[in-house]
Amino acid sequence: MGSKKRIYKMIGKRIREERKRKGLTQEDLAFKAGVSVNFIGQIERATKKPSIDTLEKISSALGIELKNLFEDVEYSPPEEDLMTKKIINLLRGRSISEKKIIYQIARFIIKKK
């Protein structure tokens, strides 16, 4: 699952938990936030991506700060970004001449494909 999808799932879960903790139904929350009941359900299930404005309305309706919806939300960069970081970390502290050699080797390998 992509990291963005995970973030929306975590936010939806936080909204559902907070809503239930406050004893609100989806209908109650929708009315207080000025959005449709369907939209609240879709946000809680992470099938819709709410805007920051909508999240602000929902957090206000729940009586919490917007930042509280993002508690426990972790962003994991895509695998490609992680590999790029690993390569960059390998190059840290190397001399210019070492970096040039590594670059030439990398170019050679890439051209072979």
Same domain for 16 and 57, yes or no, is: yes
What is the distance between the alpha carbons of residues 63 and 9, in angstroms, rounded to a whole number?
21
Q: What is the pTM of this model?
A: 0.65
| Least reliable range by pLDDT among 1-5, 69-73, 106-110 | 1-5
Question: 94 is in which domain, residue-wise?
Answer: 79-112
Tell me: do 58 and 92 sit in the same domain: no
Determine the Cα–Cα distance for residues 70 and 11; give it in Å rounded to an integer: 6
User: How far is 35 from 39, CA to CA, in rounded Å?
Assistant: 7
Distance between CA atoms of 51 and 41, rounded to whole angstroms?
15
Residue 45: C-alpha distances to residues 48, 49, 50, 62 (Å): 8, 10, 12, 18
Pair (52, 107) in one structural domain: no
- What's the CATH number where 61 sits? 1.10.260.40
Q: Are residues 15 and 59 in the same domain?
A: yes
91 contacts 102 by C-beta, under 8 angstroms: yes
Say whether both 10 and 63 belong to one domain: yes
The predicted-structure confidence for 12-60, as pLDDT tens digits, reads as follows: 999 999 999 999 999 999 999 999 999 999 999 999 999 999 999 999 9
Separation of alpha carbons 31 and 91, rounded Å: 55
Give how many domains the chain has, as a whole number: 2
Q: Does 54 share its domain with 98?
A: no
Average of pLDDT values for 99-112? Answer: 88
Q: How far is CA 6 from the centre of its chain?
A: 6
From CA 10, how far away is CA 45, in angstroms rounded?
Answer: 10
Task: Check whether residue 52 and residue 84 sit in a common domain.
Answer: no
